[in-house]
Chain A
Amino acid sequence: MKDDRLPLTVIGGYLGAGKTTLINKLLTDPRGQRLMVLVNDFGAVNIDAALLESADEDTLTLTNGCVCCTMGADLFMAIADVLARNPRPDHLIIEASGVGDPAKIATAAKAEKDMRYGGIVTVVDATNFARLSDDPMIGDQIKAQTACADLLLISKTGSIPPALRAQLSTLTGADQLLAGDVQTVADLLITPWGWPGTQLFSKPHPDYVNWSGTGSDDFSRAALREKISMRPPGLFRLKGFVRGDDGRGFLVQAVGSTVAISRIDQPDSTSLVGIGLKDRVNTEECGTWWQAG
């Protein structure tokens, strides 16, 4: 059992928040994955020249597709070009423009059958978020970028100021990490996961909780959706295959608050795996949820 759809992760955040820095760091340690990056502001990005040189040609492609009304067609056609590549990259990362809505881009991964939603990471500049989010001109767009995120990376600070943490919590329940913690972003979103039955990470990681569950119940789509929606909020990713009550099975992929359920051949048994940050979730909680009637 595998999922060979192309995962798409969208990086959002206002101008100067640190989207490029994050992308550069992800490229430094691509976790054995052939990453492809599409950026909106070609040139402004300053993708590290050394990375460009060391990357083989499939690792990195830049385009200047922009996401505005009909002109947004450029970006989506660039995604179509990526899908047509042979071999296809393992993971696509798109940097939204400073005022772009990452959710609008990420929707492509939900609609396109050859793609999989791979999360939205929004970078928040700790020094100016309060002011920007209150700006009568762009405040609403700034808040929308934040509200749709699965992970928030807080930049330009050594620790997340409590007032900022509180304000962000009113916008989204997404985990708030320091921008320097690129490791976690890569672990949660880029590192290829083992499927049920294989090991999640090459070695145990102290910061994460790994959970796996099996079962013999046959689910209807509605019942499965209901069940998944009740999962512990700290279970950042959840995936696996579930037996259906109509002779066909379900493939489940959940990232942050987004759940995607698609149809597959009926698996022999139901099997799910999940990970989350240790300070947000524990295995008992997960087990209780999964076992609940």
Chain B
Amino acid sequence: MSDITVFKAKKIITMDPNRPAATHVAVKDGKILAVGGADCAAQWGAFETDSSLADSVLMPGFVEGHAHMMAGAMWQYAYSGYHDRTDPDGKLWKGMTTIDEVVASLKSYAATLAPGEPLVGWGFDPIFLPTERLNRRHLDEIAADRPVVVMFSSFHVMCVNSAALEMAGYDEDTEAEGILTDGNGTPTGELQEMAAMFPVMHRVGFDFKKLSQEEDSIRSYGRTANRAGVTTITDLFATITPESLETLLSVTAEQDFPLRIVPTIGAMGAPADQIAAQARELAASSTDKLRLGGVKLMTDGSIQGWTARVKWPGYVGGQPNGIWNTAPEQIYELCEIMQREHIKMNIHTNGDEASEVVIDAIDAAMRKHPWRGARHVLQHAQMMGADQFARAAGLGICVNLFANHLWYFGDQHAALTIGEDRAMRMDACRSAKDAGVHFTIHSDAPVTPLGPLFTAWCAVNRTTMSGRTLGKAQCLTVMEGLHAITLGAAYTMGMDDEIGSIEAGKQADFAVLGSDPTAVDPAALKDVPVLGTVLGGRVNLL
């Protein structure tokens, strides 16, 4: 038996300008040996041809630069969102477009649970159901004999039923910010922010941190990625303990685990040099499928929560400017020390004031500690304008733009947060590209669903939920969109030497598609079927 396998495909879109299209790819030892026609591997010796993908279109495995392990784990709970969503096992959960539908769906879910077991739903977004506010009475219809908790998609608000309120001891005598009440002081069931939510959360055993560290969660993340054609993904702001590292190492090492994970630890809660030391120590544990060593910095909040730090003229509703989760002077210190220690940074910046502070901080750090290949990444970078992209390009800073926001929240941004002018140039892929910034685009799963083809569709069409095109001048071409979710993402992660394109020497990581994304109407890019992935030459079809 030969150690060379040649996969035959209907078409291979390589993202390698030297050979943009092909029909065959030869794989040896999990890596790409040659690309071309049926005889592409002939000069390397005997080979076997695998025709199992002969009817498929292959692309480089998609690379998601901003997602969280929770994306898989959330499916332990009942989906309650407005949009259709597919779970890691391929089951389609129809979006619920009225509160009645949410109630009906959760009611049938409750029937699958043991008596008294808490029912936890997630993904509910009141922004799409403006007619009526979800309250305890709706949830009491689902069940009166068990706690019912519906977590909103922002993770900042939840609504609970009477049984859950009772469990937490919330009644007309409870007085705390975030426990919403009706005119008579009776809690409505809506709880805002962690302080008001945690008395319910710990009583029903809903724990974010555990959600991201369990074996099942990691496997579920793998299946979620597999369905989206993703072969390399980040887990930004991971908490890694010695025990959870062991779990990560053992699960990702399983032969049939179909994903390379790049966790970055949160740069918070410890002095900068200690965080750098932890990152460095973790880097030494990296394997082929688990890439450690990066850090994630938080700076501001979110635009739709009015907590992003934005420059003048601020928010259209006159809301006060947002908040810093890390003080600017700490951002400077962290940037300097990570730069000095050669630790790659991913830095959350939503508002343009936050991105400006970070660019300034990296600029200052680079003057003190030159490191040209750092490729630090500004994550979200939603309000960066051409001026900031020009500076980023000059400093070698990469960006990862939140293209999915254009569809999900574009209308809201234009109407309610930053107004028309700046909404039109949000997530400005064209400006980034024109400035010469290396960039990618992302889902922030589970905030929005993992699906790089959908994300590319957003960047190509910039269509909002109401159907308008939000800032035509910023649209990418389909090829540019596909580049952003493959080689572009690989570059920002410093992995373009081994993933992101189908060319000799790289990992044999492919997305297996049902049709050619370059041949469909750009408006249908999101509908190109994903049939599975190949990771290191191992086929994982759905």
A residues with a Cβ closer than 8 A to B are 14-15, 40-44, 64-77, 79-80, 83, 98-99, 101, 103-108, 110-113, 137-138, 140-141, 221, 260-263
- Please name 15 further chain A to chain B contacts, defined as beta carbons within 8 Å, in addition to the given A65-B269, A74-B208, A98-B330, sorted by A numbering: A66-B266, A69-B301, A69-B302, A71-B266, A71-B298, A72-B194, A73-B194, A74-B209, A77-B208, A98-B327, A99-B330, A111-B170, A111-B198, A138-B324, A262-B173
List 9 A–B pairs whose Cβ atoms lie within 8 Å, in order of A's numbering.
Answer: A15-B329, A68-B325, A72-B194, A99-B323, A104-B195, A111-B196, A113-B174, A260-B175, A263-B173
Q: Is B155 an interface residue (CB 8 A)?
A: yes
- Once bound together, how far apart are the Cα atoms of A79 and B357, in whole Å? 33
Which residues of B have CB within 8 Å of A137?
A: 309, 324, 328, 353, 357
A69-B156, A70-B208 known; A107 and B168 CB under 8 Å? no
Do the beta carbons of B269 and A69 come within 8 Å of each other? no
Determine the chain B residues whose CB is within 8 A of the CB of A67 once the complex forms.
Answer: 325
Known: A73-B209, A80-B202, A261-B173. A108 touches B269 (CB 8 A): no
Give Cα distance in the complex from A155 to B174, angstroms. 36
Chain B: minimal CB distance from A57 (Å): 19
| Identity of the chain B residue whose Cβ is nearest the Cβ of A74 in the assembled complex | B209
CA distance A67 to B307 in the complex (A): 14
Q: Are A80 and B327 touching (Cβ within 8 A)? A: no
Residues of chain A lying within 8 A (CB to CB) of residue B170: 111
A137 and B239 alpha carbons, distance in the complex (Å): 29
CB distance from B110 to the nearest CB of A (A): 25
B199 in the interface (beta carbon within 8 A):
yes
Contact B327 A138, beta carbon cutoff 8 Å: yes
B-chain residues with CB within 8 Å of residue A66 when the two chains form the complex: 266, 268-269, 325
Output the least CB separation between B188 and chain A (Å).
15
Structural contact, A99 and B168, CB atoms closer than 8 A: no
Nearest-Cβ distance from residue A60 to partner chain B, whole angstroms: 17
A106–B324 alpha-carbon span in the complex (Å): 19
In the complex, whether B84 has a CB less than 8 A from a CB of chain A is no
Count of chain B residues with a beta carbon within 8 Å of a chain A beta carbon: 50
Cα A266 to Cα B350 in complex, Å, equals: 53
Q: Which 3 A-B pairs have the closest CB atoms?
A: A64-B269, A80-B202, A113-B169
Contact of A141 among B156, B268, B274, B324 (CB under 8 A): B324
- Would you give the shortest CB distance from B183 to chain A, in whole angstroms? 14
B288 at interface (Cβ–Cβ under 8 A)? no
Q: Does any Cβ of A come within 8 Å of B388's Cβ?
A: no
A43-B176 contact, Cβ under 8 Å, with A70-B208, A98-B327: no
**A111 in contact with B179 given A73-B209, A263-B173 (CB within 8 Å):** yes
| Residues of chain A with a CB closer than 8 A to B305's CB | 69
Q: Give which listed residue, B195, B207, B326, B327, contacts A107 with CB less than 8 A.
A: B195
Inter-chain contact A104/B198, CB cutoff 8 Å: no
**CA distance in complex: A183, B298 (Å):** 37
Q: Is there a chain A Cβ closer than 8 Å to B50's Cβ?
A: no
Cβ 8 A contact of B198, one of A112, A138, A221: A112
Q: Does B216 contact A (CB under 8 A)?
A: no
**Which A residues lie within 8 Å of B266 (CB)?**
66, 71
Q: How far is the CB of B358 from chain A (nearest CB, A)?
A: 13
Question: Per-residue 0/1 for B352-383: is the Cβ within 8 Å of any A Cβ (1 yes, 0 no)?
Answer: 01000100000000000000000000000000
B199 close to A112 (CB less than 8 A): yes
How far, in Å, is A12 (CB) from chain B's closest CB?
13
Residues of B within 8 A of A261 (CB): 173, 175
Residues of B within 8 A of A76 (CB): 194-195, 197-198, 201-202
Complex CA gap A42/B298 in Å reads 17
A-contacting residues, B197-230, CB 8 Å: 197-199, 201-202, 207-209
